[in-house]
Chain A
Amino acid sequence: MHIAKDLVAASATPLVLGILAEEESYGYAILKEISDRSGGRLEWTEGLLYPLLHRLERLGHVESSWRTPEGGRRRKYYAITEDGLRELAEQRKQWAAVTDALQDVWKATRTLGPVLPPALEA
């Protein structure tokens, strides 16, 4: 399934902040995490991820540090900040409002939806 560009862009910030809210991480792992969480339906490019991470850092939502894990390469880790947590809470509220409204609409027009086949409604 292809997800529209606008939708990918709009969901990018809450996804990254949400993943970082669980634990700090680095670029490649975040990319894999997003692919896993979406069952492979969200395929981000590096061109989307790194500029986004750098922008979030500039806004103070995340902070980064270069560290060298034992026996590994030097790597840039990102962690969420207090500001980022606030932003995440705010985004969650907004997304909840959107998904609530969508659920409502889907229910009203369920006959059109491919999600619930008519057989189940009988």
Chain B
Amino acid sequence: MTGTDTELEAQIAEWRSYMLRRKAISEADVDELEDHLRERVGDLTESGLKPDEAFLIAVKRMGRMDELSREFAREHSDRLWKQLVLDPDRDAAADTERRRGLLVMIACAALGVIAIKLPALFGLGFDDSGDFYGRNIGLLVLAPLAVYFAWRRRLGGAAIGVVAGLFAVGAIANNAYPFDAESQSIVLSAIHLPLLLWFVVGIAYAGGEWRSGQKRMDFIRFTGEWFIYLVLIGLGGGVLTAFTVGVFGAIGVDAEVFISEWLMPCGLAAAIVVAAWLVEAKQSVIENMAPVLTRVFTPLFAVTLVAVLVAIGVTTNAIDVERDMLILFDLLLAVVLGLVLYSISARDANAGPGVFDWMQLALVVSALLIDVLVLIAILGRITEWGLTPNKSAALGENLILFVNLAWTAWLYVSIIRRRKRFAVLENWQTGYVPVYAAWAAAVVLLFPPLFSFA
């Protein structure tokens, strides 16, 4: 009897793994269906069937769910149910698709390498033309990524036009504006152009459907996972570089020019496309990486921020608002926003409020309180010293993040009190994405003329 039981368990486990391959069915759904399957198997065995017969019948009825009950040659009688669940055509199609994705990735990574080395043909070496590369690196490495997604998503003509047009506008504004040599605007553009272009890549990522909240959330998820892969590749690249320098140094060959002119720029350009490909190809491997990191760091950040608030309260020391302080607090708000975004992107929108939501609320509220203190100090300085491009950009970003987090905090309160559904918060965050893009565009396109290229 126990023999048939373990056999049944093995069959159910195998059935589970096949159900989990379907992208439309989440793990929780499979849990639910498994419960259903077991109930039905139980009922059928009670009515006199043997467990394996009962399993076959139960799975046959379940198989209708995604209409996969297509006939295909029997392999083993004990795996008979596979033909009811599996679609051989689809697996073959998925293989072809994977191979195609790999080829497109290789082509686009090569494109990235060419793009970053092409200026060298015109005498702009990576080492000695820091100014040129500083301005254009975002353009050079992100354009191949946009091509990759346009290709993979089979982007329509209109969407291709929009993406290409925005890249062109960024390129022209960034290179045609007559910046002063030592201007702040040039640095601001170098920082904000990649940001702006990243959102343009998002249009290609969404296959042109950038208005869809779902697609925006997918892009947010993609961004986090892409970043993790990029960092991992970067770490590997660092080890490779160290070994290259060391080993060639040992035999008396100086590899440094090769590394700084070829290995690093080409590696970076290729890694950007490869990381994007990895996110999609290896989805199941790292899918939960960003949410896991979020879970680990949300409490830690919350505790740190509360500690800062307590320290300010106890010592009554005002925050010292030096030059770089605004940037620091922009980064703080961005990190908090990132933690909120990744926990939102991974959270089951139907789940009720839990301890983690309280933690998120504590994190957001403490970040907001600290930011209020900073903003007050900053406004004092600005009224005293006037606006510069740096201060204006940082202040604008601060306000944009502040508004987002303030409303997020309010929504969290409503959700925890069960006044609102979690989906409202998700909609708020995805709806807010264009604001960041618009601000980045303003800094790149409007700031230089506004501040007369200072």
Stretch of B59-67, B299-307, B436-444 on the interface side:
B59-67
Using known A-B contacts A58-B350, A64-B350, determine if residue A46 contacts B39 with beta carbons closer than 8 Å.
no
Closest B residue to A49 by CB, please name it.
Answer: B36
Would you call A47 and B65 a contact (CB within 8 A)? Answer: yes
* A109 lies within 8 A of chain B by Cβ: no
Would you call A74 and B350 a contact (CB within 8 A)? Answer: no
Main secondary structure of the interface of A (DSSP, over half): mixed
Contacts of A76 in B (CB 8 A): 28, 31-32, 35
Would you call B350 and A57 a contact (CB within 8 A)? Answer: yes
Would you call B35 and A28 a contact (CB within 8 A)? Answer: yes
Interface hits, B17-34 → A, CB 8 Å: 28-29, 31-33
Additional A-B contacts beyond A45-B64, A50-B33, A63-B350 (14; CB < 8 A)? A27-B36, A28-B39, A45-B61, A45-B65, A46-B36, A50-B32, A50-B36, A58-B349, A58-B423, A65-B352, A66-B31, A76-B28, A76-B31, A76-B32
Determine the interface band of chain A, counting residues with CB < 8 A from chain B.
20 to 34
Taken together as a complex, chains A and B put the C-alpha atoms of A107 and B344 apart, in Å, by 57
Interface hits, B36-62 → A, CB 8 Å: 36, 38-40, 61-62
Measured CB to CB, the residues of A under 8 A from B are: 26-28, 31, 45-47, 50, 54, 57-58, 60, 63-66, 73-76
Contacts of A26 in B (CB 8 A): 35
* B421 lies within 8 A of chain A by Cβ: yes
Would you call B35 and A27 a contact (CB within 8 A)? Answer: yes
Would you call A75 and B64 a contact (CB within 8 A)? Answer: no
Among B31, B36, B352, the one with the most A-chain Cβ atoms within 10 Å of its Cβ is: B36
| 15 A/B residue pairs, CB under 8 Å, sorted by A | A27-B32, A27-B35, A28-B39, A28-B40, A31-B36, A45-B61, A45-B65, A46-B36, A46-B61, A46-B65, A50-B32, A50-B33, A64-B350, A66-B31, A74-B31
Taken together as a complex, chains A and B put the C-alpha atoms of A76 and B350 apart, in Å, by 12
Closest A residue to B421 by CB, please name it.
Answer: A60
Would you call A47 and B35 a contact (CB within 8 A)? Answer: no
Taken together as a complex, chains A and B put the C-alpha atoms of A54 and B421 apart, in Å, by 15
One of B28, B64, B350 near A47 (C-beta < 8 A): B64
Interface hits, B398-449 → A, CB 8 Å: 421, 423
Taken together as a complex, chains A and B put the C-alpha atoms of A63 and B67 apart, in Å, by 27
Among A46, A50, A73, A76, the one with the most B-chain Cβ atoms within 10 Å of its Cβ is: A46
Closest B residue to A26 by CB, please name it.
Answer: B35
Shortest Cβ distance from residue A75 to the other chain B in the assembled complex, whole angstroms: 5
Contacts of B36 in A (CB 8 A): 27-28, 31, 46, 50
Q: Inter-chain contact count A-B, CB under 8 Å?
A: 48
Contacts of A46 in B (CB 8 A): 33, 36, 61-62, 64-65
Taken together as a complex, chains A and B put the C-alpha atoms of A8 and B418 apart, in Å, by 34
Shortest Cβ distance from residue B22 to the other chain A in the assembled complex, whole angstroms: 13
Contacts of B33 in A (CB 8 A): 46, 50
Contacts of B61 in A (CB 8 A): 45-46
Would you call B64 and A50 a contact (CB within 8 A)? Answer: no
Contacts of A64 in B (CB 8 A): 350
Would you call A73 and B38 a contact (CB within 8 A)? Answer: yes
Contacts of B31 in A (CB 8 A): 66, 74, 76
Interface hits, B323-363 → A, CB 8 Å: 349-350, 352
Would you call A74 and B66 a contact (CB within 8 A)? Answer: no
Contacts of B39 in A (CB 8 A): 28
Shortest Cβ distance from residue B18 to the other chain A in the assembled complex, whole angstroms: 16
Shortest Cβ distance from residue A103 to the other chain B in the assembled complex, whole angstroms: 35
Taken together as a complex, chains A and B put the C-alpha atoms of A66 and B35 apart, in Å, by 11
Contacts of B62 in A (CB 8 A): 46
Shortest Cβ distance from residue B83 to the other chain A in the assembled complex, whole angstroms: 18
Contacts of A65 in B (CB 8 A): 352
Among B31, B39, B40, B62, the one with the most A-chain Cβ atoms within 10 Å of its Cβ is: B39
Contacts of B40 in A (CB 8 A): 28
Shortest Cβ distance from residue B271 to the other chain A in the assembled complex, whole angstroms: 38
Would you call A73 and B35 a contact (CB within 8 A)? Answer: yes
Contacts of B32 in A (CB 8 A): 27, 50, 76
Closest B residue to A60 by CB, please name it.
Answer: B421
Contacts of B349 in A (CB 8 A): 58
Closest B residue to A65 by CB, please name it.
Answer: B352
Taken together as a complex, chains A and B put the C-alpha atoms of A74 and B29 apart, in Å, by 13
Taken together as a complex, chains A and B put the C-alpha atoms of A60 and B423 apart, in Å, by 10
Contacts of A28 in B (CB 8 A): 35-36, 39-40
One of A54, A57, A63, A75 near B35 (C-beta < 8 A): A75
Contacts of A31 in B (CB 8 A): 36
Taken together as a complex, chains A and B put the C-alpha atoms of A75 and B38 apart, in Å, by 11
Shortest Cβ distance from residue B284 to the other chain A in the assembled complex, whole angstroms: 22
Taken together as a complex, chains A and B put the C-alpha atoms of A31 and B31 apart, in Å, by 17
Taken together as a complex, chains A and B put the C-alpha atoms of A6 and B219 apart, in Å, by 38
Closest A residue to B26 by CB, please name it.
Answer: A54
Contacts of B28 in A (CB 8 A): 66, 76
Taken together as a complex, chains A and B put the C-alpha atoms of A63 and B31 apart, in Å, by 17
Closest A residue to B38 by CB, please name it.
Answer: A73
Contacts of B350 in A (CB 8 A): 57-58, 63-64
